[in-house]
């Protein structure tokens, strides 16, 4: 299956976010997101695994017994497999390309479902979380980080619209909704004990660090890799994301929920 991530975009994102990551925050955010989480003995599903950075950390850093990474882009999955082999965790990870729609796993297959900055790309959020609840074991946990619409309705909200347009120019599409769309979807799926932690300020700081790097003296290799047009779109996208987050027009949150035992 084709991907919206070209080779140039993939290399550019790794330069900005860290090896193996295609979304903001990278390894640093993983540490914040999963602070105090014990995955020892857990079988984890990484939904939207991309090129495997989070899956590898879940196995190596956070001690998951096994991580199954899935993505709709077969080329990204092949990169994830290679990365896991290179990091020596091929025995603790597996990756597969899937079609959009129902997940190809039996009911109650996983102790944990992990999703980082993926659901914002999917229009039908209720369908996603219904499938998440189905494949979780009773007592299993959902850990979902995502971007959502903010509450700012004044002129600063235009920064959010500008960012979406900039990301489309960069080659990425989104389906943003307010946090209520998530909490409603959790409830409809039968998930409970929902906890939401606001990561917007840290996400804005990460976006500001991106801008500093993109406009700094060490950006030459990234500019060369992307080409002038993509590089200009990358600067615009990072600048607009920072503005939208800083203004409260865009949120970034860490969400946790449980499937009742």
Q: What is the pLDDT of residues 125-150, one digit of tens each?
A: 999 999 999 999 999 999 999 999 88
Residue 169's pLDDT band (boundaries 50, 70, 90)?
low
For residue 57, give the 3-state DSSP assignment: helix
Percent of the chain whose predicted confidence (pLDDT) is above 90? 64
Give the single-character DSSP code of 155.
G
Highest averaged pLDDT of the listed ranges 163-167, 172-176, 183-187: 183-187
Which is nearest to 23 in space by CA: 258, 206, 162?
Answer: 206
Give the pLDDT score at 80: 97
DSSP notation for 163-197: HHHHHHHHT------BHHHHHHHHHHHT-EEEEEE
Q: What is the pLDDT of residues 71-97, one digit of tens each?
A: 999 999 999 999 999 999 999 999 999
The fold of the 7-149+173-207+251-258 domain, in CATH, is Rossmann fold (3.40.50)
pLDDT tens digits, 206-258: 999 989 989 999 888 888 877 888 888 888 888 888 888 888 888 999 999 99
User: How far apart, in whole angstroms, are the C-alpha atoms of residue 144 and residue 260?
Assistant: 17
Task: Convert 185-198 to b/e letters by CB count within 10 Å (16 or more is b).
Answer: bbeebebeeeebee
- Quote the CA–CA distance of 152 and 158 in Å, as a whole number: 10
Q: Predicted confidence band at 155 (pLDDT cuts at 50, 70, 90)?
A: low
Question: Percent of the chain at pLDDT above 70?
Answer: 91
Candidate from 26-30, 94-98, 129-133, 156-160 with smallest mean pLDDT: 156-160
Q: How do the domains of the chain map onto residue ranges?
A: 7-149+173-207+251-258
Residue 226 pLDDT: 79
pLDDT in tens, 41-61: 999 999 999 999 999 999 999
Burial 211-235 (b: 16+ CB within 10 A, else e): eeebeeeebeebbebbeeebbebbb
């Amino acid at each position: 299956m084709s991907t919206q991530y070209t080779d140039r975009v993939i290399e550019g994102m790794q330069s900005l976010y860290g090896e193996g990551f295609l979304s903001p925050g990278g390894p640093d955010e993983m540490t914040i997101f999963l602070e105090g989480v014990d995955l020892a003995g857990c079988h984890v599903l990484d939904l939207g695994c991309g090129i495997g950075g989070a899956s590898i950390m879940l196995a190596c850093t956070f001690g998951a017994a096994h991580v199954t990474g899935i993505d709709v882009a077969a080329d990204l999955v092949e990169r994830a497999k290679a990365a896991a082999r290179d990091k020596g965790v091929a025995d603790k990870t597996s990756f597969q390309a899937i079609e959009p729609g129902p997940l190809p796993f039996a009911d109650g297959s996983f102790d944990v479902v992990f999703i980082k900055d993926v659901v914002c790309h999917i229009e039908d959020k209720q369908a996603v979380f219904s499938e998440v609840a189905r494949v979780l074991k009773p007592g299993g946990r959902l850990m979902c980080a995502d971007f959502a619409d903010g509450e700012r309705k004044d002129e600063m909200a235009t920064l959010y619209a500008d960012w979406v347009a900039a990301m489309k120019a960069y080659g990425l599409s989104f389906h943003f909704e307010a946090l209520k769309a998530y909490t409603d979807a959790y409830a409809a799926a039968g998930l409970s004990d929902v906890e939401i932690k606001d990561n917007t300020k840290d996400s804005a700081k990460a976006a500001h660090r991106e801008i500093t790097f993109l406009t700094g003296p060490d950006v030459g290799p990234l500019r060369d890799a992307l080409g002038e047009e993509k590089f200009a779109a990358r600067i615009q996208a990072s600048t607009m994301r920072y503005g939208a987050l800083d203004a409260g027009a865009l949120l970034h949150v860490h969400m946790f929920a449980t499937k009742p035992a």
